[in-house]
Amino acid sequence: AVVVPLAKAMNLRVTTVYGGVSQGPQVAALRPGIDILVACPGRLEDLIGQGHCQLGAVEVTVLDEADHLADLGFLPAVKRLLDQTPSGRQRLLFSATLDRGVDDVVRRYLNNPITHSVDRVDTIPPALDHHTFTVAPEDKAAVVRELASGAERSLLFTRTKHAARKLARQLTGEGIPAVDLHGNLSQPQRARNLAAFSKGSARVLVATDIAARGIHVDDIALVVHVDPPTEPKAYLHRSGRTARAGAAGVVVTVMTPGQVGDVKTLVRHAGIRPTTARVTPGDPRMAALTGPPAPLSFVDPSPPVAAPRSNAPFEGRRGGPSSRSGAAGRRPRGPGSASSDRRPSAPRRGAGPAPRRRPR
């Protein structure tokens, strides 16, 4: 959505490569050669292995959300892909942290890099209002429903994919339009659910940590940790979906009595001092956070959509290397490239079909 209009304005070809969908359209897009490739590492490796793509002419490589790729275990695949790109060209890496193997990628693949830093990952937005609610196990479902019943957008986090799917269905069945986001959804299903949430036909999005990493939806007023995270980094990433660009936001962690000790340790390590309370269904403190409940909206549930067959697991919205390379005579090299004084000896594109082998 960001790259396509910019590429179109400069008459550049761009395509995306990711799992969870049929590879046929992606292969067809690669066949004539492209200038900009946005790819997830697993599917890209598959296509290269099948002879549909090569990276030997890449001029600029961008590794985005490197820490997230490390969390998912994709850094070995990323390194194999980087090994196939020319070493003397420009490389950029974006990451929330430089641990868990990301620092090794920096040392191995970036030549004398210049570092630019913005807010640290553990920086707490000042407009966030944090709360922890202790509930009896038998009251948890009703409390979560009340928190999700407000008129503004709410993002609810669960620990498992099954819990996310189940909670979204329960809320929708009770008149609170909700959609889910987790790793078992195909890319079209993810896009459909995110569109419903961003356009307002669903006020509630129920998601898992991994699936929600790339969510960029404005005006999320409330984040609810239905299942408390286990580490401060996850808490801050989840909570950071609200209170963006100076807006205010509310974060609520729902915990049972057996989780109180773990949550206290979690928020202390995250540098948070939440307002704590023991609540039951109908507690006015919840209404004070969510505002008046929105009118109930009952819809006929749509039949489940089977995920399309794919030879690569779904890996998320983005996160693999992006490449850019103009064909000879098509556009000039940019001045910021690490090898801007070098010129290809033959026309080529940055990522495209592998050369055909001559019969012996």
Instruction: Check whether 301 has a pLDDT greater than 60.
Output: no
Neighbours of 253 (CB within 10 A): 27
CA distances to 53, 98, 110, 115, 291 from 65, rounded to whole Å, are: 23, 11, 16, 15, 35
Are 170 and 204 contacting, i.e. CB atoms less than 8 angstroms apart? no
In this structure, CATH architecture of domain 128-290: 3-Layer(aba) Sandwich (3.40)
Superfamily holding 3-118+310-324: P-loop containing nucleotide triphosphate hydrolases (3.40.50.300)
Pairing of strands 204-207, 178-181: parallel
Is the pLDDT at 111 greater than 70? The verdict is: yes
Instruction: Supply the mean pLDDT for the chain.
Output: 82
Q: Mean pLDDT across the stretch 183-199?
A: 89
Q: What are phi and psi of 134, to 5 degrees?
A: -90, 130
Q: Tens digit of pLDDT for each residue in 236-251?
A: 888 888 867 667 789 9
Least confident interval from 5-14, 210-219, 277-286, 313-322: 313-322
More confident residue, 346 or 73: 73
287's CB contacts (< 8 A; 6+ apart) are: 146, 293
| Equal CATH topology for 3-118+310-324 and 128-290 | yes
- Coil, strand, or helix at residue 61? strand
17/40 Cα distance (integer angstroms): 6
- Residues 271-282 have a mean pLDDT of 95
Residue 166: the pLDDT is 97
Q: What is the pLDDT of residue 212?
A: 66
Question: What confidence tens digit (pLDDT) does each residue in 213-235 have?
Answer: 667 788 899 999 999 998 888 89
Of residues 98 and 306, more confidence is placed in 98
Q: Which residue has the higher pLDDT, 246 or 209?
A: 209
Question: Does pTM surpass 0.75?
Answer: no
Over residues 76-81, the mean pLDDT reads 95
Q: Per-residue pLDDT for 20 more than 90?
A: no
**Domain spans in the chain, listed from the N-terminal domain onward:** 3-118+310-324, 128-290
At 120, the pLDDT band (50, 70, 90 cuts) reads low
What percentage of the chain carries pLDDT values higher than 70? 78
The closest of 19, 15, 17 to 3, measured between CA atoms, is: 15
| Comparison of pLDDT for 120 and 205, the residue scoring more | 205
pLDDT band for position 299 (cuts 50, 70, 90) = low
Q: How far apart are CA 154 and CA 202, in angstroms?
A: 10
What pLDDT is stored for residue 42 in this prediction? 93
Predicted confidence at residue 209, as pLDDT, reads 82
Q: What is the pLDDT of residue 153?
A: 92
